[in-house]
Structure 1
Amino acid sequence: MASQTAGIQQLLAAEKRAAEKINDARKRKAQRLRQAKQEAQAEIDKYRQERERQFKEYEQQYLGTKEDIEANIRKETENSLNEMQRNVAGNKQQVIIRLLQLVCDIRPELHHNLQLQKKLNPQNL
């Protein structure tokens, strides 16, 4: 019997050591996973920064900077406003003359409803 209890004790001790080794292995695995995630995130961040740098270079090369775009828009707006002012100045006198003609040159005419009624019933009027 004593040999059986000694054998059981050895088995329990071996089981305990195995459980500890398994726990240690799980901890190492979890640590390796965390480290791998950190390394992957660092690599992703590095790649993202590189791509953003390339995009900014491309944007500056082909589109220009934000200030350049704003300056171009301002210049185009000023040019179109100047063109409109030239058109207004050139046509201002003609518009005034036309308005005066429309206001001052009055031709009395019957309203079209009254003209229609007169054509339909000439004896009532």
Structure 2
Amino acid sequence: MTSQSQGIQQLLHAEKRAKDKLEEAKKRKGKRLKQAKEEAIAEIDHYRLHREKEFRHKQSNIMGSQGNLSTKIDEQTVAKIQDITNSYHKHMDSMTKQLLNMVYDLQPNIHPNYRSSV
């Protein structure tokens, strides 16, 4: 019986060691998962920062070119207004004379569709 109880004791002891090894393996697995998660988060953050930097760079290039466009459009508008003003001053006298001549030299005529009742 003692050999039997010794065998049972050895089995219980082996079972306890196996259980301890399983717990230790689970702890190592949890640590590895946690470490892998932290590394993945760090890699994601690095990638996100890189992409945001590229986005800001492209955005500044586009916005800068839009700023140049608005400056160019403003210059063109000022030039066009100046041309129109010059044309106005150049042709103002002749157009005024022409309009006044049309008003002063009015020749009354009967309209061709008018039918007299007499």
Total equivalences in the alignment = 111
Q: TM-score, normalised by structure 1?
A: 0.65
* CA displacement, residues 85-108 of structure 1 (integer Å, 9 cap, x when unaligned): 42333311101211333xx42113
Unaligned runs of 5+ in 1: 119-123
Change (3 A) 1:109 1:65: closer
Q: Which runs of 5+ in 2 are unaligned?
A: 1-7
TM-score (normalised: structure 2) = 0.67
Q: How does 1:1-125 map onto structure 2 within 5 Å?
A: 1-52=8-59, 59=65, 64=68, 66-101=70-105, 104-109=106-111, 112=113, 115=115
> What's the CA shift string for 1:60-118, capped at 9, x where partnerless?
9xx947445423421222222321342333311101211333xx4211346x3x64xx8
| Whole-Å separation in 2 of the counterparts to 1:96 and 1:20 | 104
**Does 1 or 2 have the higher relative contact order (CA < 8 Å, sep 6+)?**
1
| Distance (whole Å) between structure 2 residues aligned to residue 35 and residue 72 of structure 1 | 51
- State how far apart, in whole Å, the 2-side matches of 1:23 and 1:97 are: 101
What's the CA shift string for 1:8-35, capped at 9, x where partnerless? Answer: 2122211111111111111111111111
Q: CA RMSD in A?
A: 3.3
Aligned match of 2:5: none
